[in-house]
Amino acid sequence: MATGQKGVWVSELNSRPDVRKEFVAGRAVQFYDTTLRDGEQSVGVVLTPRQKLEIARGLDELGVGRIEAGFPRVSAEDAEAFGLIAQAGLKAEIWGFGRALKADIDELLRLGAHATVIETPTSAIKLKAYGLSVEEAKRRAAEAIGYAQKNGVTVAFFTVDGTRTDLEVLRDFYSCALDAGAEELVVVDTIGACGPEAVEFLVRSVREWVGTKVPLHFHGHNDFGMATACAVAAVRGGAEWIQGTINGMGERAGNADIGEVAMALSGLYGVPVKLNLTKIREVSGLVRRAAGHELEPWKPVVGENLFMRESGAVASQFHIPEAIEPFSAELVGATRAIVLGKKSGIDSIAIKAKELGISLSAEEQQAALAAVKRTGIEKRGLVTDNEFRAITERVKRAASA
């Protein structure tokens, strides 16, 4: 068992020299959160300006370095939210989002934005969909970037469908953007079309094209369930910023989940991250409630089942967390718990009785276990603490009769 940090219990195979690959970036990875823009693009999700402000405050407490406060030109509500967040005195940098259009930049300027992503399609299929030629798209991008830069706005250039763009064409787009005044570049897997090896190759290639001084971002989607792996690969290739969302929410299968990415980087690879993971479950809940979405209880990092144990075989090891968990609950602000149901064992009963201050003899524990199993099967669910108390009272009465 090997670990790069306290409270992490992972396989020694991770650190074998013939397994471990070096990471290009030697600095801590930072997170650019796009929950309030790309996350809200989830079907059926509408966040009010006040909800966005509350989420932004949560993201700030989480330690997110940059918060994309929205796409102001899309609606008056988005503009209002951007203004509220920009004036909230947060520690995080507040970024905007716009297309390669002067009107989008003008709206950001009206709101006092100091930094923004500017996007343009770059792949042949996306350019065809928009009715644009490569040269026209480059011209529009250069004009928008130059206009923003001349007005004091920092620009990160965002290549829509970059991972499906011919490499030489993509290189020309990035070169054009830098010449126009862009200071940062985003490698974008718009429809989750790349595997981790391809992402690492592309990020490493972009790093070689532009040198070491240009900050690189990676923005990935989860259509093949690979967004976390691709984000880790992007960091290995030289990305310093990972763009993602809370709970991985977003269009289609969603975006890279910044909590998952941060935990994987720090726990499995020993890569430092600028994120306070003890706040991740709190912020996850905040976003979940605002968006009206449920989460799978087994979801990594923030799922409610991660540190709950029903199985009797596992409950017998509950006092040794590293035997049944790869990382400590404290690292992500969670609480460990034994729950009761069909799969409980005698150790489950003993632990729960002690937790609730209930004294049971060995015979009473066996009777309580049988009753718990029956109740769990009848309910097709868990036995609550109150139900367990009622069970133990019945068991004690029967024993004393």
The token duo for 170 is 């993509």
323 and 249 together in one domain: no
Cβ atoms of 31 and 244 within 8 Å: the answer is yes
229-249 pLDDT per residue, tens: 999 999 999 999 999 999 999
- Residue 179 sits in which domain range? 24-291
Last residue of a domain, one of 291, 317, 350: 291
Write the burial class of residue 222 (CB in 10 Å: 0-12 exposed, 13-18 middle, 19+ buried). Answer: buried
Question: What's this model's pTM, rounded to 2 decimal places?
Answer: 0.93
Cα–Cα distances in angstroms (integers) from residue 367 to residues 43, 388, 394, in the given order: 49, 12, 10
Q: How many domains does the chain have?
A: 2
Residue 128: count of CB within 10 angstroms of its CB: 11
Q: Give the three-state DSSP class for 323.
A: helix
CA gap 139, 123 in Å, rounded: 15
Coil, helix or strand at residue 67: strand
Let me know if residue 1 belongs to a domain.
Answer: no
| Calpha distance 248→219 (Å, rounded) | 12
**Cβ-Cβ contacts under 8 Å for 304 (sequence gap 6 or more):** 295, 297
* Helix, coil or strand: residue 106: helix
Cβ contacts of residue 77 below 8 Å, gap of 6+? 48, 49
In a shared domain, residues 276 and 316: no
The model's confidence at residue 400, banded by pLDDT at 50, 70 and 90, is: confident
**149 pLDDT band (50/70/90 cuts)?**
very high
Q: pLDDT tens, 327-372?
A: 999 999 999 999 999 999 999 999 999 999 999 999 999 999 999 9
Among the candidates 224, 258, 291, a domain finishes at 291
Residue 19 lies in a domain: no
The share of the chain scoring above pLDDT 70, in percent, equals: 98
Amino acid at 36: L
pLDDT in tens, 283-322: 999 999 999 999 999 999 999 999 999 999 999 999 999 9
At residue 122, the pLDDT reads 98
What is the reported pLDDT for 25? 58
CATH no. for residue 124? 3.20.20.70
- Assess if residue 5 is contained within a domain: no
Query: CB neighbours of 131 closer than 8 A, spacing ≥ 6?
Result: none
**Confidence category of residue 24, pLDDT binned at 50, 70, 90:** low
Question: pLDDT value at position 93?
Answer: 98
The residue type at 374: R
Residue 386 carries which DSSP code?
H
344 and 268 fall within a common domain: no
Does residue 16 sit within a domain?
no
* Cα–Cα dist 10/222, whole Å: 24
User: Are residue 320 and residue 382 in the same domain, yes or no?
Assistant: yes
State how far the alpha carbon of 252 is from the alpha carbons of 162, 222, 223, 255, 361, in Å.
18, 8, 7, 9, 54
Q: Which of 242, 265, 291 is the endpoint of a domain?
A: 291
Which alpha helices (H) appear in 154-246, and where do they start and end? 167-180, 196-210, 227-237
Predicted pLDDT at 18: 85
Same domain? For 283 and 340 the reply is: no
pLDDT of residue 22: 80
In a shared domain, residues 158 and 287: yes
In a domain, 218, yes or no: yes
In the structure encoding, which two tokens stand for residue 307, read together?
A: 């540190």
How far apart CA 195 and CA 192 sit, in angstroms, is 8
List the one residue out of 283, 348, 356 whose CA is nearest residue 318.
Answer: 348
- Look at strands 66-68 and 93-99 and give their pairing: parallel
Distance separating alpha carbons of residues 332 and 198, to the nearest angstrom: 30
Q: What is the predicted pLDDT for the residue at 284?
A: 98
The answer as to whether 296 is a domain residue is no
Mutual angle of helices 227-237 and 258-269, in 10-degree steps: 60
The verdict on 317 and 285 lying in the same domain is: no
Q: Is residue 338 in a domain?
A: yes
Residue 13 lies in a domain: no
312 and 285 in a common domain: no
- pLDDT one-digit tens code per residue, 67-91: 999 999 999 999 999 999 999 999 9
| 100 and 241 co-located in one domain | yes
Same domain assignment for residues 331 and 221: no
Q: Is the predicted pLDDT of residue 16 greater than 60, yes or no? A: yes
User: Do 109 and 185 have their domain in common?
Assistant: yes
- 1: pLDDT strictly greater than 70: no
What is the rounded distance in angstroms from the CA atom of residue 322 to the CA atom of residue 289? 32
* 165 & 248 share domain: yes
Is the pLDDT at 2 greater than 70? The verdict is no
Q: Which helix (H) or strand (E) holds 131?
A: none
Compute CA distances 133 → 15, 177, 265, whole Å. 47, 16, 39
Handedness of CA 335, 55, 232, 216 (dihedral sign): negative
Q: Is residue 23 predicted with pLDDT exceeding 90?
A: no
State pLDDT tens for residues 175-231.
Answer: 999 999 999 999 999 999 999 999 999 999 999 999 999 999 999 999 999 999 999
27 backbone φψ class: left, alpha, beta (φ>0; ψ -120 to 50): beta
